[in-house]
Copies of this chain bind each other. A is one copy, B any other.
């Protein structure tokens, strides 16, 4: 399997997807045709057009995924960000969960950003998104054996807001579930290649496991030992 799981397409100080461009080039590896899954955003055509322009600047061609056909003719699949519940629900409605999982497991490179990264995990139970629509299940692609929390955000010591911090929320997840969680800060991504899972990007990631103190891992570091 070859996966590139990006925390967020927008990173402060960078253009759209800029911080991930070299890794996207690497995983697509000279091929041209990218199948794009836009379901996390309401206006799918506008979203596809935005991605078509951005990837076009990298000499990649983009087709919008409507069903398995576009996956069959693609060299890679890209699942864009937006609302994770909307995305997962649409994939179930179109019977695409198994179709995507099977092709990616068979070698089709998978690129996800934000919501597209959430659904690469076993479930969407560590998304930050509002549950604006109810999918039939929280189970997702399970391309990796761990959960991911994209846009991971450290507590703001100056805040007077009393709602849960992101770390509080991940700890609540671990009260109910035993799967490790990678808190993936903006500007970072996870690469899975040749059976090796590596953190990439601009900053450290924070790994949460039940019964352990959270752990910081640096870009370039393999994380399989912590999340496998």
Interface residues of A (CB under 8 A from B): 8, 10-13, 42, 82-83, 86, 124-134, 137-138, 151, 153, 160-164, 169-170, 172-173, 175-177, 186
Shortest Cβ gap from A163 to chain B (Å): 4
Determine whether the beta carbon of A138 is less than 8 Å from that of B130.
no
Determine whether the beta carbon of A175 is less than 8 Å from that of B131.
no
Shortest Cβ gap from A167 to chain B (Å): 11
Which of B13, B130, B163 meets A125, CB within 8 Å?
B130
Q: List 17 A-B contacts (CB under 8 A).
A: A10-B162, A12-B160, A12-B162, A42-B172, A42-B176, A86-B176, A125-B131, A125-B134, A126-B130, A127-B131, A128-B164, A130-B170, A131-B131, A133-B176, A151-B161, A161-B186, A162-B186
Number of this chain's copies in the assembly equals 2
CB neighbours (8 Å) of A126 from chain B are 130, 132
Q: A177 and B132 in contact (CB under 8 A), knowing A162-B186, A163-B8?
A: yes
Which of B133, B151, B161 meets A163, CB within 8 Å?
B151
Shortest Cβ gap from A216 to chain B (Å): 19
Q: A138 and B134 in contact (CB under 8 A), knowing A153-B163, A161-B186?
A: yes
Task: Give Cα A113–Cα B97 distance, bound, in whole angstroms.
Answer: 37
Interface centre among A83, A86, A130, A132, by most chain B C-beta atoms within 10 angstroms, is A130
CB neighbours (8 Å) of A125 from chain B are 130-134
Shortest Cβ gap from A90 to chain B (Å): 11
> Residue on B with the closest CB to A169?
B130
Task: Give Cα A177–Cα B85 distance, bound, in whole angstroms.
Answer: 13
Determine whether the beta carbon of A138 is less than 8 Å from that of B131.
yes
Determine whether the beta carbon of A129 is less than 8 Å from that of B169.
yes
Determine whether the beta carbon of B163 is less than 8 Å from that of A186.
yes
Shortest Cβ gap from A129 to chain B (Å): 7
Shortest Cβ gap from A47 to chain B (Å): 13
